A and B are shown apart, each in its own frame.
Chain A
Amino acid sequence: MAALRVLVGVKRVIDFAVKVRVAPGGAGVQSQGVKHGLNPFCEIALEEAVRLREAGAAQEVIVVSLGTKASQETLRTALAMGADRAVLAEVAEGVTAGPKEVATALAGLVGRLQPQLVILGKQAIDDDCNQTGQLLAAMLDWPQGTFASRVELDSGSVRVQREVDGGLETLRLRLPAVLTADLRLNEPRYATLPNIMKAKKKPLEVIPAADLGVPGGSPRLKVLQVQEPPPRAGGEKVENVQDLLGKLRQSGRI
């Protein structure tokens, strides 16, 4: 059990507190000069992996990402949070990689690094896809424990509590398996300054994404247009509860 190796996929995204805008020309969103960070769900995935290692249930935590050179910074943050080493599947600036390309790269890395467990976030807060973990599990023919809010490793299997629409459910998955982290799985730690310094010395390997089977051609999903949603018409303030109920009755809402 102690020989378990965990792979954690992380994504560099625009910081969750930034109000995103469509870039001039409408081809995408403005990302130049905008604060980026680790996708919050990826932080939770990483925290869980580090906790498994600290509890002696896992031996090594490898953090991986598909992205441009800028993603090295994200991987360094992940190393500062406790990952042992990092691998960047690098793509050139301007290459669009969706969940399918990322899952392909991850499947390639699973082949090379031989983890028994892969933990991802349940979704990235930029594309809001919620697909990569499931795609990867399909490609590997591994079981999937999505939207996990509790993870317990057992000999040869993992018990996963999942957040589903009506409440919670529990599954047992045979290892190797893919998990995706939901918000309530844990509370990620902050990277401390000494750990940020230590992280600079940890190994970070760069592999061209093409070497992992990620196709370089035009993706089969094309973004035709991005736009901002129509703004809501400005509302009004009401004086008191009676006034509020009067307005709601008038507009037929109650």
Chain B
Amino acid sequence: MLRAAAAQRLRRAVSVLRRSQSTLVVAEHDNESLTPITLNAITAAKRLGGEVSCLVAGTSCDKVASELSKVQGVAKVLVAQHDVYKGFLAEELTPLIVETHKKFNYTHICAGASAFGKNLIPRVAGKLDVAPVSDIIEIKSPDTFVRTIYAGNIICTVQCDEAVKVFTVRGTSFEAAPVSGGSASVEKLTPPPPVGISEWIEQKLTKSDRPELTSAKVVVSGGRGLKSGENFKLLYDLADQLHAAVGASRAAVDAGFVPNDMQVGQTGKIVAPELYIAVGISGAIQHLAGMKDSKTIVAINKDPEAPIFQVADYGLVADLFQAVPEMTELLKKK
């Protein structure tokens, strides 16, 4: 009886706490469209239970702001458009976020754990004098988060006692928020004066017609076993049959077979597709950290002792130069 009353009081206290949460999600975009990981971050933000606002800063924000205003669960879209946000420099975005925080007093500030989020969010935390939390995979309560350490080999639950919780969200650990059904208000912000200590010069993006690696449903990855960059064509052909993205191990990147932005692993991208096909990849700890949450893992390797077979749901001990073209041909037939 007493215990029931205490539990009820606790529940009420928690719900009061939840209602007073407010979260700012820093939207990642390219001035044309929203980067998908932002939708995963919005789902994480909704899990906190309070109001969710999104900040769009860039040189051209109208399209992205209108896209965001329709995302389910977003209450408010804040827009800061200015030429100073060219290249999304952390030095320029941080004062804007700090100003926005001063105005609205958030309990949580977050972004996706992409190169953009990882670069920006700790700087924001530094300015707010709080310790940030990186790459969370679960929210237990508004102050308790789960993340992985040691290349995904250890799961760590942390309690954050900071006044404002500043964190990045692992995209593959949260569903994407639905892109329709929302009706957020849109509000313009006045950008603070430019800082001017950094300048964006240029970018060289890897062009590809295949789906984006971190959000693809199927990923085909190659390792040192491919032997050359030309041989990756075998994987591209297979990927085309499966509408898959193509990834790589660090060994394949270091050997110059493919560009670094294709790397899957602790130091590259974290993926969790429905199907991950590892071809000619031994399965070093570093690589497993980036893909072991995939729903189904297939390994094709001629070494039966390769560690990748310990995590593979289906393992085929075979020469990839025969198995991969055969697979492509069989897929073409059906």
> Is A146 interfacial (CB-CB < 8 Å)?
yes
> Is A139 interfacial (CB-CB < 8 Å)?
yes
The interface size bin for chain B is 35 or more
| Chain A residue, CB-CB nearest to B161 | A220
Instruction: List residues of B whose CB falls within 8 A of some A CB.
Output: 87, 89-91, 94, 114-116, 118-127, 130-135, 144, 147-162, 196-206, 214, 218, 242, 250, 253-254, 259-261, 266-267, 269, 274-275, 285-286, 292, 295-298, 309-318, 323, 326-327, 330-331
Known: A20-B153, A172-B199, A174-B198. A163 touches B115 (CB 8 A): yes
Known: A128-B150, A147-B119, A169-B204. A223 touches B315 (CB 8 A): no
- A171: contacting residue among B151, B201, B266, B295, CB under 8 A: B201
Q: Are A166 and B158 in contact (CB under 8 A)?
A: no
Known: A134-B90, A224-B158. A128 touches B151 (CB 8 A): yes
Q: Are B203 and A220 in contact (CB under 8 A)?
A: no
- Tell me if A's interface is mostly helix, strand, loop or mixed: mixed
The interface size bin for chain A is 35 or more
Q: Are B203 and A170 in contact (CB under 8 A)?
A: yes
- What are 30 A-B interface contacts by the 8 Å CB criterion? A41-B267, A98-B131, A125-B150, A126-B149, A127-B149, A128-B147, A131-B122, A134-B123, A135-B122, A137-B123, A137-B126, A138-B94, A138-B127, A163-B115, A166-B205, A170-B201, A171-B87, A173-B199, A183-B260, A224-B144, A224-B158, A225-B157, A232-B311, A241-B318, A244-B314, A244-B316, A245-B330, A248-B275, A253-B274, A254-B275
- B296: contacting residue among A134, A163, A164, A251, CB under 8 A: A251
Query: Bound state CA distance, A247 and B134, in angstroms?
Result: 37
Instruction: Kindly list 12 other residue pairs between chains A and B, CB separation below 8 angstroms, not including A221-B161, A238-B314.
Output: A20-B150, A98-B131, A100-B130, A128-B134, A137-B123, A144-B119, A147-B115, A173-B199, A182-B267, A220-B131, A223-B158, A227-B154
Query: Bound state CA distance, A62 and B204, in angstroms?
Result: 33
> Is A83 interfacial (CB-CB < 8 Å)?
no
Q: Are A16 and B285 in contact (CB under 8 A)?
A: yes
- A29: contacting residue among B115, B150, B275, B331, CB under 8 A: B150
Known: A14-B150, A224-B157, A235-B314. A134 touches B134 (CB 8 A): no
- A128: contacting residue among B127, B149, B158, B296, CB under 8 A: B149
- B285: contacting residue among A19, A126, A169, CB under 8 A: A19
Q: Using a CB-CB cutoff of 8 Å, which residues 138-192 of chain A contact chain B?
A: 138-139, 141-144, 146-147, 149, 159, 162-174, 182-184
Q: Shortest beta-carbon distance, A242 to chain B, in Å? A: 7
> Is A112 interfacial (CB-CB < 8 Å)?
no
